[in-house]
Amino acid sequence: MTEAPDVDRLFAQLPAAANVIFLSPLCDDESASVARRLAARGHPVTVVSPDATATNTAGHRLARLERGDRLRELRAAGVEVYDWAEGRSLQGLLGQAGGGR
């Protein structure tokens, strides 16, 4: 898959020692690919993924399954992933994840 020019430009400008917090609902394969590529380049990557699939329609159920697969694949690749559930504050999620850091 060829990344968009903006993504290539980001990769070129990102300092080698950069820690990356990647915020994405992971509703498509390309966003998960970008996170994996960042990790493969040696960047510590933390994905914070708000769940945009909470509505209980057939389309949302399928999207939820696909998103769940992306979350598992990223974790299997060694990427730190936090599933941000509806109604939960970002501060609470990150506070629990980082021990308050």
List of domains in the chain = 19-97 (3.40.50)
Q: Would you say the pTM of this structure is higher than 0.85?
A: no
What pLDDT tens digit does each residue of the chain (101 aa) get? 555 678 888 888 999 889 999 999 999 999 999 999 999 988 999 999 998 887 778 888 888 899 999 999 999 999 999 998 888 888 888 777 665 44
Give whole-number Cα distances, 55 to 16, 59, 89, in Å. Answer: 40, 9, 19
Give the angle 98-33-46 at the CA atoms, nearest 5°.
Answer: 5
